[in-house]
Structure 1
Amino acid sequence: MTAARPGRFTARTVRVKAPGKVNVSLDVGPLRPDGYHSVASVYLAVSLYEEVAATSTETPGITVSISPDSTLDLDAVDIPLDGNNLAYKAAAIMADVSEHATGVHLEITKRVPVAGGMGGGSADAAATLLACDALWNSGLSREELAHLAAELGADVPFSLLGGTAVGLGLGDKLSPALAKAQTHWVLVTADYGLSTPEVYRTLDRLREAEGVEAAEPTGVDPQILTALRGGDAEALSRVLVNDLQRASIELAPSLRDTLGIGESHGAIAGIVSGSGPTVALLADDSVAAEALAEALQRYGLSALAVHGPVPGARIVSDTLI
C-alpha cells in the first residue's frame, strides 16, 4: 500500500474474495417452535468466489453496486442494493464496532449463483466484514469477525472460515474438519432461484403427508469426514445426503433430470446443494470433472468444474487511490 498524500482525503480500496460452498451432507430436523430447523451438515468451500471491493468515501453512508465483471446474467436476477443486501448489513455492523469508520462503497463481483444453495450472499457478507475490518483498521480477530458473521446468517461464518467444517444447530455452530485432500465437482447452475424458506416448508409438508417424524440431528456421518480426509471420491459418493433435495425437486422437477444427465455422463454421484437449485456432481478427478462439464455444456446446461476445500475469505489487494 502506497503512502497517502497529506492534506486531502485519499480513498482506499480493499478487495476480498470469499468462496461459495457445497453441502456435502445436510440432515434436517423437525420444525421447531421458533420456526427454524436444527441441522447437521458438512460444508465444503469450493473454488467459485465472490469478490467485494470496499472503497472508503468522503460522503458518509454505505452504497452498493454490482460489478460488470460479474459472470452471472444480472438481468435475470434481482439483487437488492440497499439495506436488504447482506453485504450492506455486514458493512453496517462493522461501522458500528469500528472507531474510524468512513463512508464506504461496496462493488460486488457476482460469480456464485443467486438463491442457488451455495451461499453467494453469505460470501459477500464475509468478504465485506474482512474488507471493512482492514479498511477501517478495526483490528478484529477472525474469531471476533466470526461472531459478527453469525449475526448475519448461518452460512456467513463458514465463508469466513472456508475449508471443511461441520455445522450444527442452525448451521452456525462450526467445527473445522481436518480434510485438506481435494475432491472435484461439477456445479450445474440454474437460471432461476429457489427460496430457502419455501424449500423448508415443502419438506415439512412432505414429511407431514407421509407421517414421518424427523429426529433432531446430533452429528454427521463419520464416513463422510473419513472420505473427505482421504479425498476418496468413490467412498464419498456412497454417503452424500441432503434431506432438502426431495423438497427442491418437488418445487423444481427439472433438477431430477439434471442429476440423471450428470450421472449418465460420468458423475459418480450427484446432490442438490443446500436448498438448491444448484446441482453438485462428484467426479473421480480434475480431468473427469472438466470432461463432465464440457459434456453438460453440450446439453445447454451451465456447468463449471470446481474443487474443494479452498481457504475462506482473504484479502487480495489493498490500495490507495
Structure 2
Amino acid sequence: MTEVLVADRVHVRAPGKLNVFFEVGGAQADGYHDVASAYQAVSLYEDVWAEPARDFTVSISGTVDVTGVPADDRNLALRAARLVAKEIGHDGGVHLDIVKHVPVAGGMGGGSADAAAALVACDALWGAELGTHGLHRLAARLGADVPFALMGGTAIGTGRGDQLSPALAKGRFDWVIVTSEEGLSTPEVYRRLDELRAGPDIAPAPRVPAVDPGVLHALRAGDAVALAAYVRNDLQAAALSTRPELRDVLETAERSGALAGLVSGSGPTLAFLAGGAEEALELQVTLAAARHPALHVHGPVPGARVMPV
C-alpha cells in the first residue's frame, strides 16, 4: 500500500566516521574479512534532502570532488530509498538531493552516511515509522558502515563491522584530517594487505580480530593522550604501500604536535589526534601552511537525524 505523505521535503544530516582502531582478520572464502573496529562519528557531515517524485532520482553536489559519485542505481543512497519503499509497499518515488562534505573514497564512510541519511529521510517522508530496529535491519543490507552512520557516537564493530555495540566515550576528542584529491579503492587496499601478509614484512592476520581493551578505557576516560597509545589501523601498511607520499604527511603532523596519526579506514584520508581544540587548530594551521588540505573535526557526534525546517 502507499503510505500517507507526512512532509513535502525532509532534510537529514549524517556524519562521517573515523576508525580509531581497526584490526583486520584473514580473508574468508567469500573474499571478505572479519574486522574489529572502534568507530567514532565526527563533525564532518553529509546532507540529504528527500522530496516526493514519480521515480527514484538523485542529484549530487558538495564541497568535495563528487566526480566519481554515481547518480544511478549504483548510488547507495538511491538503493536505500528503494529498500524503504519496498519494505512498506510505497508505489511512488523520491528525489534525493545530496550535498557532500565527506571526502569521496577517502575512508570516512561518506557513501554510507548518504545511505543512512536516505533511510531516515524516506522513513520520515513517507511516514513509514520503521523504528530503530527496522532501519538498522535495512542498513545492514547496504554495507558494513551504514548501520554505524545511523547510530553515530562511538561504537565497537565486529564481524564485517556491522555487528555494533555502543561504547561509552566521555567528553570530546579533537581530530585534524588531511584529505586527498585522489581516492583509494577499498577492495584494492584489502587485496594489498593480503599480499603484504603473505610476505615477511608485516604480521599475519589475527585468528579472531578484537579491539584492544586500552582503547575502550581511554574512550571511557575521555583521555586523548591515553587513546593515542592505542590508535591503530591494519590497513595502513597497505594504503601507504599504494600511496607512499602519505607517509611524509604522517611524519610532518607527528613532528608538529599530533598525539598520534593514522590512515582513516582504507584511506587515503589521514586522521591526527590532538590534545584539544586549541592544539588541533594549531596543527591545522601548520599542515595548511605546508599545503596539506586540513580540517578540524571533533567527535563523538550523533548519527543520522532529521534536521529542523
> 1:16 aligned to 2:8?
no
Query: Is the 1:99–1:138 Cα contact (8 Å) retained in structure 2?
Result: no
Task: Provide the TM-score with structure 1 as the length reference.
Answer: 0.92
Paired residue for 2:249?
258
Residue 210 of structure 1, CA deviation:
2.0
| Offset at residue 253 of structure 1 (A) | 0.5
Tell me what 2:114 maps to.
124
How many pairs are equivalent? 304
Q: Say which SS state the counterpart of residue 48 (structure 1) adopts.
A: strand
Equivalent residue number for residue 139 of structure 2: 149
Partner of 2:185: 195
Which residue among 29, 36, 49 is the counterpart of 2:32? 36
TM-score between both structures, scaled by the size of structure 2:
0.95
Give the distance between the partners of 1:282 and 1:11, measured in 2 at CA.
40
Give 1:167's aligned amino acid. G
Paired residues of 2:51 and 2:95 also in contact (CA < 8 A):
yes
The alignment-based identity, stated in percent, is: 56
Q: Tell me the CA shift for residue 34 of structure 1.
A: 1.4
| Cα separation, 1, equivalents of 2:146 and 2:6 | 30
Q: What residue is the counterpart of 1:62 in the other structure? A: 56
What amino acid is aligned across from residue 32 of structure 1 in structure 2? Q
Offset of residue 216 of structure 1 = 2.5
- 1:218 Cα deviation after fit: 4.2
Q: Secondary structure at the match of 2:114?
A: helix
Does the CA-based 8 Å contact 1:38-1:216 persist in structure 2?
Answer: no
Unaligned 5+ runs, structure 1: 1-8
The separation in 2 between residues aligned to 1:308 and 1:148, in whole angstroms, is 25
What secondary structure does 2:199 align onto?
Answer: helix
In the alignment, is the contact (CA less than 8 A) between 1:20 and 1:118 conserved in 2? Answer: yes
Q: For residues 76-91 of structure 1, what are the structure 2 equivalents within 5 Å?
A: 77-91=67-81
Contact residue 98 and residue 136 of structure 1 kept, 8 A: no
* Conserved? CA contact 1:27–1:217, under 8 Å: no
SS of structure 2 residue aligned to 1:12:
coil
CA contact (8 A) 2:7 2:126 kept: no
| Corresponding residue number in structure 1 for 2:41 | 45
Q: Which runs of 4+ in 1 moved over 4 A?
A: none
Report the 3-state secondary structure (helix = DSSP H, G, I; strand = E; otherwise coil) of the residue aligned with 2:79: helix
RMSD of aligned C-alpha atoms?
Answer: 1.5
User: In 2, distance between residues paired with 1:219 and 1:101?
Assistant: 44
Structure 2 residue 128 is the aligned partner of structure 1 residue 138:
yes
In the other structure, the counterpart of 2:64 is 72
The letter for the 2-side match of 1:172 is D
Q: State how far apart, in whole Å, the 2-side matches of 1:140 and 1:216 are.
A: 37
Bigger shift: 110-119 or 90-99? 90-99
- Using the TM superposition, name which of 216-225 and 83-92 deviates more: 216-225
Shift of 1:135: 0.3
1:86-133 per-position Cα deviation (integer Å, ceiling 9, x unaligned): 001101101101244532110001000000000000000000000000
Shift of residue 10 of structure 1?
A: 10
Report if the CA contact (8 A) 1:102-1:136 is conserved.
Answer: no
Q: Distance in 2 between matches of 1:43 and 1:10?
A: 33
Alpha-carbon displacement from aligned partner over 1:233-255 (angstroms, at most 9, x marks no partner): 11111111110000000000011
Q: Matched residues in 1 for 2:146 and 2:44: separation? A: 15
